[in-house]
Amino acid sequence: MTSDTTPLWEFADISKAYPGVLANDKVCIKLMKGSIHGLLGENGCGKSTMIKTLSGVQQPDSGRILYNGKAVQISDPLAARDLGIATVFQEFSIVPTLSVGENIFLGNMPRSRLGAIDWRKVNSESARVLKEMDVNIHPEAITGDLSVGEQQLVEIAKAVAMDASMIILDEPTAALGEEEIEQLHQLLRNMRRRGTAILYVSHRLDEVERIVDEVTILRGGRVVSAAGETEINVSEIVSAMVGGDVGEHYPKENNATDDVVLRASGLRTKAGVSDATFDLRKGEVLGLGGVLGSGRTEIARALFGVDTLTEGSVELGGSPVKFRNEMDAIKAGMALVPENRKTDGLFFNFRASGNITAASLAEISKLGILDLLTEADGTERLIDELEISAQAEAKTVNFLSGGNQQKIVIARWLFADAQVLILDEPTQGIDIGAKIAVYKLMNTLTRAGKSIILISSDHDELLAMSDRVAVVQHGAIKKIVAAKELSHDDLVRASADNIEHVSKEQLAS
Amino acid sequence: MKRIFDAQLIGPFAAMVIVTLIVAMTTDRFLNPGNLSNLFLQVSIVALIAIGATVVIFAAGIDLSSGSMVALLTMILAQMLKFMGLPLIFALPLILVVGALLGLGLGLITAYGRIPSFITTLAALIAFRGLALTFNNGSPIFSLDPGLEPIFYGKLAGIPLPFFYLLTFYGLAAFTMNFTKLGREIYAVGGNPAAAVLTGINVRKVQAITFAIAGFMTAVGAVLMSARLNSGSPNYGQTLELQAIAAAVVGGASLAGGRGNILATFMGAMTIVIVQNGLNLNAAPSSVQNIVLGLIILLAVGIDMWRAELSSLLSSVFGKSASVKGG
């Protein structure tokens, strides 16, 4: 029946409308056996809608789905599973309180003849899958205790365990460090060799370039470039995604001066910072490079007073400071833009104004009464200046795109006039246009004499947007070099050195 | 003013109006002036306590202690007036302070002891009732002070005094929630405590303050309860905490915190009391009243949860077609 030219899965003319929006307009995608297919586009282009349709979460309004050339219906997620479709969603669907093995076989537990769960099989099968994936996680470990990266691998192990013929990965590397990404890619290559069709959705175009065989690009709910029409390189993809020339991808301005704003010496915390010494200059962007779990976030926490210093000292503006908590740090002019803006950054019950002034309530109030005019003026000015959506003040911020949300979190610290900003993965999960806007915002900040500590797992971004890069390993800063003198490979190698469980082979591939 | 009277009031207001219309149509005695002013007296205690309950809910907490605290405070007030001979003018402010301190205590245990407020106030619900029974061998204390009853039954320009208490305290609460730093911080803490910490808001302090406010408002309710019956009793205030929470919920406050309008809580309380009043006037047994109250709560939360579906249903009924637009 099937030949090499019959796609394993064919999605033809899939349309889906939500109230007010036609999210997918006659989208066609063909997935071939043993091929990694990139599905790309800016936020709101209809990718998520497509993924929901493919995984049976929702039904398309029209269109045909063919499996091996035969029409099928993916009526619900269970049907998707029976058809061999596994989806790894951006938001994890693992249960943190269950063991790794239980998660891998969730909803599909091997049973003994009496109908009881066959625990021995759960654990042995899980161990087999994890071994096959070359992942060093114990099947009986509690999933919630694992690192985010490891949890992501468990998520993928679920797909491997069900022997999926098609696996959909939605932003699979958002939470992963470089070596884990490489490990994942190796895994995907293995699956490809075995004939699995893989749909790979990611904002990290450098990664896409490395791993995918063909791309489909969506814009405004339509396919603007079908497989084979666009060459797989970053600039071609970007212009297809945004529908024109975006100009400079990394519009870096050099605003660094020689004045030291912040000096950290020999920082050590119980949370895993072992030896961090560096200085930060006025107008500078200092990048913290390193693999996930190397201690970058922990250094940020130590600076911000979240974790107590057991050793070392911090000087801010020439005088020693000791922060007992976040409140002290904020009063002194520090700011932390957290990695996860949804859980740690935004107030979804507020509009733009409430979010922007949240860190400055004392400054905009007299005798405890808020000056709402100052708030409104400041908000309006920042919405204008940062080109935040005009809708931002009309509705609560949950209605805004990720890019607009991130701008609002950063606007909060502009309003508060913070002098040192720690940006933890500031462009994670936002589209290319919004990323460039965030980069420009970083320029605005440094131009105004503010200093930035940038934590990013996107090495291209880290190298392009930092003035200097500090390489972090095991909670210690190993060296600090000018970003210009560092290449992507240097950074990977420097930060991955000494990590025992990564074989040289994986790094080289 | 736009801030206070926002869209969140429309639903609870509509509910109140609909309920009023239904009761007025089915019961001819509902609209006579005596009944209406009685309505204000009836709603006053629960509506005042509901202010505190709502503020706690805004900060993503829950206060189950108020019913028992009312009993305890009426007993302490009775003790002060009847057996210690304290003048009313001293006893009243004192009892308000005691209420605020009890609330603050619960708030401190919750915020700094990191015990969920459901647990701390559940413990208080049980313990306060027990504590109330230790006064006067567990018997009610009657005829406290001749000056007490007018606090509840008195009138100013022909209008019952509780109307003015409601006006004052709801006015203050609306001002606090909408125009002050504290109000904004309460919404922020309820909306996203992790983000509040990272923006330099003293989350624990704010949480503790909400419980102190709840304690204070419970004390106000307790004073009115004592005044209404010129007595103190360890049996007062049974299920009052649940009625106060119900008023907040019917008023649209989200139990997840961060969302709601304090004035809507008053409408929620009115809705509940009007239904009870209607059933009373029709001589419905209290069992039926409780069943109806339960259904109202379910309906109010249900409408809130299904809002998206209901509005898309409405728009499809009225034939608004989906416009074609790229996301």
Q: Which domains does chain A have, with CATH numbers?
A: 9-242 (3.40.50.300), 249-333+420-426+449-509 (3.40.50.300), 340-418 (no CATH)
Residues belonging to chain B: 327
Lowest mean pLDDT segment, chosen from A82-91, A242-251, A465-474: A242-251
Q: Under an 8 A CB cutoff, do B188 and A354 touch?
A: yes
Q: Using alpha carbons only, what angle is made at residue A48 by residues A43 and A52, rounded to the nearest 5 degrees?
A: 170
**Burial (Cβ within 10 Å: 0-12, 13-18, ≥19) of residue B240:** buried
Does position A495 have pLDDT exceeding 90, yes or no? no
**Burial (Cβ within 10 Å: 0-12, 13-18, ≥19) of residue A219:** buried
Give the nearest chain A residue to B315 (CA atoms). Answer: A19
Partner residue opposite B198 with nearest CB, options A344, A350, A370: A344
Does position A426 have pLDDT exceeding 70, yes or no? yes
User: What is the strand order of the sheet A420-424 is part of?
Assistant: A334-337, A420-424, A451-455, A285-289, A468-473, A476-482
Could you give the percent of chain A with pLDDT greater than 90?
38
Q: What is the pLDDT of residue B1?
A: 43
Q: What is the pLDDT of residue A164?
A: 86
pLDDT band with cut points at 50, 70 and 90 for residue B315: low
Q: Tell me which chain A residues have a C-beta less than 8 angstroms from the C-beta of B200.
A: 326-327, 329-331, 359
Residue B194 touches chain A, beta carbons under 8 Å? yes
Alpha-carbon dihedral sign for residues A500, A501, A502, A506:
positive
Beta bridge partners of A370: A365
Give the nearest chain A residue to B319 (CA atoms). Answer: A19
Residue type, A260: V
Q: What is the pLDDT of residue B224?
A: 97
Q: In terms of pLDDT, which residue wins out, A444 or B314?
A: A444
Task: Report chain A's terminal Cα–Cα distance, integer Å.
Answer: 36
DSSP H or E stretch at residue A83: none
The structure tokens 């419980």 sit at: B211
pLDDT band with cut points at 50, 70 and 90 for residue A419: very high
Distant-in-sequence, close-in-space partners of B318: CB < 8 Å, separation ≥ 6: none
Q: What is the pLDDT of residue A494?
A: 66
Does position A194 have pLDDT exceeding 60, yes or no? yes
In a domain, B255, yes or no: yes
Q: Give the pLDDT mean for A243-258.
A: 79
Q: What is the pLDDT of residue B151?
A: 95
Does position B129 have pLDDT exceeding 90, yes or no? yes
Q: What is the pLDDT of residue B327?
A: 30
Residue type, B289: Q
In a domain, B101, yes or no: yes
Q: Give the pLDDT mean for B106-130.
A: 96
Does position A362 have pLDDT exceeding 50, yes or no? yes
Distant-in-sequence, close-in-space partners of A470: CB < 8 Å, separation ≥ 6: A278, A286, A287, A288, A289, A477, A479, A480
Q: What is the pLDDT of residue A492?
A: 65
State the smallest CA–CA distance between residue A184 and chain B in angstroms: 31
Q: How far is CA A258 from the centre of its chain?
A: 33
Query: Could you give the count of Cα atoms lying within 13 Å of A464 in the half-sphere of its Cβ?
Result: 14
Indicate left, alpha or beta for A338 from its phi (over 0: left) and psi (-120 to 50: alpha). Answer: beta
Kindly provide the ipTM of the predicted complex, given to two decimals. Answer: 0.85
Q: What is the pLDDT of residue A1?
A: 44
Q: What is the pLDDT of residue A91?
A: 66
Q: What is the pLDDT of residue B133?
A: 96
Does position A501 have pLDDT exceeding 90, yes or no? no
The structure tokens 């049974």 sit at: B238
In a domain, B141, yes or no: yes
Structure tokens at A19: 């109230």
Q: Which of A51, A350, A360, A409 best tests the B interface by mutation, with the highest count of B CBs <10 A? A: A350
Q: What is the pLDDT of residue A486?
A: 81
Q: Give the pLDDT mean for A202-215.
A: 84
A93-122 pLDDT per residue, tens: 788 899 999 998 887 788 888 888 888 888
CA–CA gap between residue A284 and residue B109 (Å, rounded): 44
Does position A37 have pLDDT exceeding 90, yes or no? yes
Partner residue opposite A44 with nearest CB, options B182, B184, B327: B327
Q: Which of A49, A327, A349, A373 best tests the B interface by mutation, with the highest count of B CBs <10 A? A: A349
Does position A508 have pLDDT exceeding 70, yes or no? no
DSSP H or E stretch at residue A392: none
Residue B190 touches chain A, beta carbons under 8 Å? yes
Q: Give the pLDDT mean for A58-75.
A: 90
Q: In terms of pLDDT, which residue wins out, B89 or A230?
A: B89
Q: Give the pLDDT mean for A479-483.
A: 89
Structure tokens at A171: 């932003």
The structure tokens 């890069």 sit at: A469
Q: Under an 8 A CB cutoff, do B325 and A345 touch?
A: no
State the smallest CA–CA distance between residue A30 and chain B in angstroms: 22
Q: What is the CATH number of the domain that holds B121?
A: 1.10.3470
Distances (CA, A) of B251 to B47, B212, B314: 11, 22, 22
Partner residue opposite A348 with nearest CB, options B191, B200, B202: B191
Q: Tell me which chain B residues have a C-beta less than 8 angstroms from the C-beta of A350.
A: 187-188, 191
Partner residue opposite A220 with nearest CB, options B196, B322, B326: B326
A269-317 pLDDT per residue, tens: 998 899 999 999 999 999 998 776 788 889 999 999 989 899 999 999 8
Residue B327 touches chain A, beta carbons under 8 Å? yes
Does position B323 have pLDDT exceeding 60, yes or no? no
**Crossing angle between the packed helical segments B203-229 and B66-78, to the nearest 10 degrees:** 50
CA–CA gap between residue A477 and residue A289 (Å, rounded): 9
Q: What is the pLDDT of residue A498?
A: 44
Q: What is the pLDDT of residue A93?
A: 77
Q: What is the pLDDT of residue B8?
A: 76
Q: Under an 8 A CB cutoff, do A22 and B322 touch?
A: yes
CA–CA gap between residue B67 and residue B70 (Å, rounded): 5
pLDDT band with cut points at 50, 70 and 90 for residue A422: very high
Q: What is the pLDDT of residue B290?
A: 83
What total number of domains does chain B contain?
Answer: 1
In a domain, B326, yes or no: no
In a domain, B1, yes or no: no
- For residue B235, count other CB atoms closer than 10 A to its CB: 12
Q: Under an 8 A CB cutoff, do B324 and A22 touch?
A: yes
Lowest mean pLDDT segment, chosen from A317-321, A434-438, A456-460, A463-467: A456-460
E-strand ranges in A228-272 read 260-269
Q: Across all residues in chain A, what is the average pLDDT? A: 86
The structure tokens 């809130």 sit at: B304
pTM of the model: 0.79
B248-302 pLDDT per residue, tens: 999 989 888 999 999 999 999 999 999 988 988 888 888 888 888 888 888 877 8
Highest mean pLDDT among A139-143, B93-97, B298-302 belongs to B93-97
Q: Across all residues in chain B, what is the average pLDDT? A: 90
In a domain, B325, yes or no: no
Q: Tell me which chain B residues have a C-beta less than 8 angstroms from the C-beta of A62.
A: none
Beta bridge partners of A286: A453, A468
Does position A503 have pLDDT exceeding 50, yes or no? no
Highest mean pLDDT among A185-194, A345-354, B91-100 belongs to B91-100
Q: What is the pLDDT of residue B324?
A: 34
Residue B284's domain comprises 7-317
CB A506 within 8 A of CB A179: yes
Q: Under an 8 A CB cutoff, do A350 and B185 touch?
A: no
Q: What is the pLDDT of residue A186?
A: 86
DSSP A290: -
Q: Under an 8 A CB cutoff, do A22 and B196 touch?
A: no
Structure tokens at B209: 């303050």
Q: Under an 8 A CB cutoff, do B198 and A349 touch?
A: no
State the smallest CA–CA distance between residue A342 and chain B in angstroms: 9
Structure tokens at A34: 């043993």
CA–CA gap between residue B34 and residue A227 (Å, rounded): 78
Lowest mean pLDDT segment, chosen from A34-38, A91-95, B181-185, B291-295: A91-95
Alpha-carbon dihedral sign for residues B36, B37, B41, B44:
positive
Indicate left, alpha or beta for A222 from its phi (over 0: left) and psi (-120 to 50: alpha). Answer: beta
pLDDT band with cut points at 50, 70 and 90 for residue A506: very low
Q: Give the pLDDT mean for B163-190.
A: 96
State the smallest CA–CA distance between residue B19 and chain A in angstroms: 29
Q: What is the pLDDT of residue B101?
A: 98
Q: What is the pLDDT of residue B107?
A: 97
A370-385 pLDDT per residue, tens: 999 999 999 999 999 8
